[in-house]
Structure formats: structure tokens, C-alpha cells
Structure 1
Amino acid sequence: MNPTTPAAVTATDLVKTYGTGDTRVSALRGVSLTVPAGQFVAIMGPSGSGKSTLLHCLAGLDTATTGRVQIGDTGLGGLSDGRLTRLRRDAVGFVFQSFNLLPTLSAADNILLPLRLAGRRPDPKWLDRVIDLLGLADRMHHRPAQLSGGQQQRVACARALITRPRVIFADEPTGNLDSRSGAEVLSLLRASVRELGQTVVMVTHDPVAASYADRVVFLADGLLVDEVTDPTPETVLDRVGRLERRVA
């Protein structure tokens, strides 16, 4: 990381355990990670490696057993429920595999929902820029059932961007999409980094999806074990293969 580039998200020595005694499971075992502002980072690893747990702890959706998470200069540890809710609402955007759109609302209302919940008015110029980037101008009055899966995920991306969050967390955002729609959504996330200066942290199992990132980090057994910068599908697939052989 360039020393002049601020960190959007920082994790230090994260440990996450579930259960006690014989049922105790260590999902994270001392993970440290820094994501600079304006970077697209993909998190990969075998099933059970801790990648979704890491994402949820970074985003404030789950609490680490020990360790520290910061979003910008705000530490998540010790925040009241109310302050944590406000931080997630104002500083974090989410894109999930299942879209999570409200079926009774139009695309426009789904996009603007986080602002309305916060009692904030949209910035018309920013709204127009996001809608233009995501190609949604002719879909704003459609409800989710009237949209394709790719269009629904674009609406979810717009909803994540509308608050100008410090970071967007994406959990398998192309998991329910065909390859063409998935490529469109990944290109849009990439464009949000390049053109809007957004920071994106994405969990994926797909080497092609990971290749859209600036950097790919690999987890195994709750540990950060490898990373690749400027990834290609081939370099990611090679590292995944090595990791699977190591785990086996």
C-alpha cells in the first residue's frame, strides 16, 4: 500500500471461534488484512476456510472473538448497537448473492431506501452518475419481478453506492447469475473503483470473478496464506489448485 493512501478497512489479529469444548471451531485464527481506499480486493479459499466469516467481521455483521477491525479511522469494537447500525448504514454498502431487493418497491425506491432510512436526501448529481454508470435509466420504475437477475444485481449495486460508502462488501455477488450477467456486474464493480474511487471487498469462489480485482487474498483453515496482485484467471486458478492440494 502507498503510505499516502488511507486504509478503508483494517483487520488486526482477528480470531473468531464458535462453540466451546469439543464443539469449539476456529473460523479465523489471527487474520490481519489492510485494504487501501480505492482498491478492489477479492477473498478466496476452500469451503470452510473462513472467507465469509472474515467478510462479515470486516463489515460489522459479526463480531470477532478477539482482534480489531477499523473502517476508516473508526474501530468497531465497543461501538453501541446504535452507532454500529449508523456506521453500517452510512459507511458501508452491501451486495449479496440473493440481491435482497424489496419486491413491492420499484428499482428507484430500492436504490434510495438506505438514504430514506437515514432521513437523507439523495444528491441528484451523484444519483444520476450512479444510474448512468450502472445503465439503469430505463429500469427505474420497474419492480424486481420485472427485472432479470443481472438487472436486479445492478439495482443492488446502485443501492450500495448511493450513500457514497467508504467500502462495499460483496458476498458471492455473481453466484445467482449466468456468466454474461455476472461479467456485467463484475465490470460495474470494477468501474465503480476506477471511475468513482470506490473500495470493494468481495468473497468469491470463481477465479474469473477474482481476476477483476486488484488483489486476491487466499484463506485456508482460518489463516491468510497467500495473495496475488494484478490477477488473471490463470494465476488465480493456479494458486487455488496449489491451495487445494495443500489442504488435501
Structure 2
Amino acid sequence: MTTNIDPTVVPDAARAVRVSRVHGEGDTTVRALDDITIGFPRGRFTAVMGPSGSGKSTLLHCLAGLDAVTDGAVYLGDTELGSLSDRQLTRLRRDRIGFVFQAFNLLPTMTALENIVLPASLAGRRSDPAWLDRVVAAVGLEQRLQHRPGELSGGQQQRVAVARALVGRPEIVMADEPTGNLDSRAGAEVLALLRNAVDELGQTVLMVTHDPVAAGYADSVVFLADGRIADHMEAPTPDRVLDRMKAFDRVAAGAGSRGE
């Protein structure tokens, strides 16, 4: 199944057009992505799910310019990433994309505040004080800004990472398993922050997750299987997402029993 979104009707923050990502050659060839066309509209929270090896993280990495595509084209807004040099790609990721990963990726010698404003500092810019205050308040870190990562809980460290992703006002926030290292309570707090970033701050969020509960925070879910778009769900709930994931497992089990 291929999902086609007309960019003249729905403005996309990011999109992939007939994208494939192939590893290896001959008998060892793996098609991590197989002719995917999909757009991710602005101002929405989209989750990407699928079985292990379905290509969900590869899709995120290609959309962010972290991995090169084998075929097709990736766009951030109207910018086609394949036309950019390595230096231009680095600048694009710094200036136009916010990242939140499973590993918090904070610098241990810096305070929370210094970590939050680090991308702007590296670019030689000063963060907008009013926006910085709003983001810090949104993630509830007002009393923790002078603490270093080692003095913060895992949930608080991920809040710092979310604030860092938001403070530059990126066109899109890309989150790869952002609650993977957190307990359920801290994970729920981080997901609520991402949801609030869309609802209150007008952000666009694209999140890869394996967790049906996490997907339930999104506006929609895209399901991948074997490197292709397999399904799409609007207004997801954890139960509906879980049922869909179980269906994938049943199909995989059936294929295995037939030796496929």
C-alpha cells in the first residue's frame, strides 16, 4: 500500500517520494524501504509503527538526512535533501529539525540550560528569550536549569532533550523511541509534552515507536511492514493500535509456518 498526499492540498513538513533504501548486494540484499511515498502534514503528531525490521527508524533517518536514499527523493518543506552537500545537510538538520532520541544525548558537563540552547550556540545565535522561557515552562524545568544531567532523573533528562528540540522553532521534531529508556510515568510525561507541543505551540511531531500507548498520543499512525506502508489509522487509541500490531504478528507467524 502506498499513501499519496498531494502537497498542494495538505502542506507537508516532510515527505518521501518513491523512496527506497537498499543494503547489501546479491543474496544479501535487504530492502529496508521499498518504494515509499508519504507526506507528514504540518501541525500534526504522527506516529510510525511496525514490527522489528519494518523500516520505521530507517524512514525517520532518511527524512532527516541522516541516511541517504537509494532511490527516490526526500523533502523537508520544499527542499530536496538529495541536492544538498554534507555541509548544507548539517546546517539543515541544525536549523530546521529538532531531534529527540531514546538516548538523551546530553553533554554531562553542561547544565540543563546550556544543553537546551546548545544548537543555537553552535550556530552562533542567541535563543529568543521569550520563546526559551515559554519552552522551559512547557516542559516544567524552571527549577532545574542549573542542574547537570547527572543530577536529573531520566524523565527530566528527556524533558531537557525535548526542550532542546523545540527551542529553535524547527519545522519538524523527529523523535525515535523517545520513551524507550523511561518508566511508564516519565514516559507519559514526555509524550504529554510532545502532544502539548503540537496543540499549544503549533509544532509538527513525527515519532517512531513500538509502544501502542505512545502511539495513542498521536493524531494518526502510519504502519510499516517489510519496508512498505501497510496501513494508516486516524484518531488512534492504544487498544486499536495493539489490535493492528497483533494482526501483523499473526501474518508474520503464518508466513513463517509456510516457510516463507
Normalising by structure 1, report the TM-score. 0.98
For 1:135, the aligned partner's letter is G
1:142-166: CA deviations, max 9, x gaps?
Answer: 0000000000000000000111000
1:23 aligns with 2:28: yes
Q: By how many angstroms is 1:78 displaced?
A: 2.0
Give, in whole Å, the separation in 2 of the partners of 1:246 and 1:41: 24
Which of 218, 225, 231 is the aligned partner of 1:226? 231
Q: By how many angstroms is 1:123 displaced?
A: 0.4
Which residue does 1:120 correspond to in 2? Answer: 125
The Cα RMSD (Å) is 1.1
**Structure 1: tracts of 5 or more residues without a match:** none
Give, in whole Å, the separation in 2 of the partners of 1:140 and 1:70: 35
Which residue does 1:94 correspond to in 2? Answer: 99
Which of 11, 33, 45 is the aligned partner of 1:6? 11
Instruction: Describe how 1:104-183 pairs up with structure 2 within 5 A.
Output: 104-183=109-188
Secondary structure of the 1:196 match is: coil
Secondary structure of the 1:170 match is: strand
Q: By how many angstroms is 1:90 displaced?
A: 0.4
Give, in whole Å, the separation in 2 of the partners of 1:3 and 1:210: 27
Secondary structure of the 2:82 match is: coil
Q: By how many angstroms is 1:58 displaced?
A: 0.7
Moved segments of 4+, more than 4 Å: 1-5
Give, in whole Å, the separation in 1 of the partners of 2:28 and 2:170: 38
Q: By how many angstroms is 1:247 displaced?
A: 2.1
Instruction: Describe how 1:72-87 pairs up with structure 2 within 5 A.
Output: 72-87=77-92
Secondary structure of the 2:203 match is: coil
1:196-228: CA deviations, max 9, x gaps?
Answer: 111111010000000000000100111100011
Normalising by structure 2, report the TM-score. 0.93
Which of 29, 34, 43 is the aligned partner of 2:39? 34
Give, in whole Å, the separation in 2 of the partners of 1:161 and 1:65: 30
Which residue does 2:200 correspond to in 1? Answer: 195
Change in CA separation of 1:233 and 1:120 when aligned onto 2, cut-off 3 Å: same
Change in CA separation of 1:4 and 1:222 when aligned onto 2, cut-off 3 Å: closer
Secondary structure of the 1:77 match is: helix
Aligned residues: 248
Give, in whole Å, the separation in 1 of the partners of 2:123 and 2:140: 25
Secondary structure of the 1:9 match is: strand
Matched-pair contact (CA < 8 Å) for 1:220–1:247: no
For 2:128, the aligned partner's letter is D
For 1:100, the aligned partner's letter is N
Give, in whole Å, the separation in 1 of the partners of 2:192 and 2:9: 27
Secondary structure of the 1:155 match is: helix
Q: By how many angstroms is 1:243 displaced?
A: 1.4
Give, in whole Å, the separation in 2 of the partners of 1:3 and 1:14: 20
Give, in whole Å, the separation in 2 of the partners of 1:89 and 1:172: 20
Give, in whole Å, the separation in 2 of the partners of 1:70 and 1:125: 30
Give, in whole Å, the separation in 1 of the partners of 2:35 and 2:252: 18
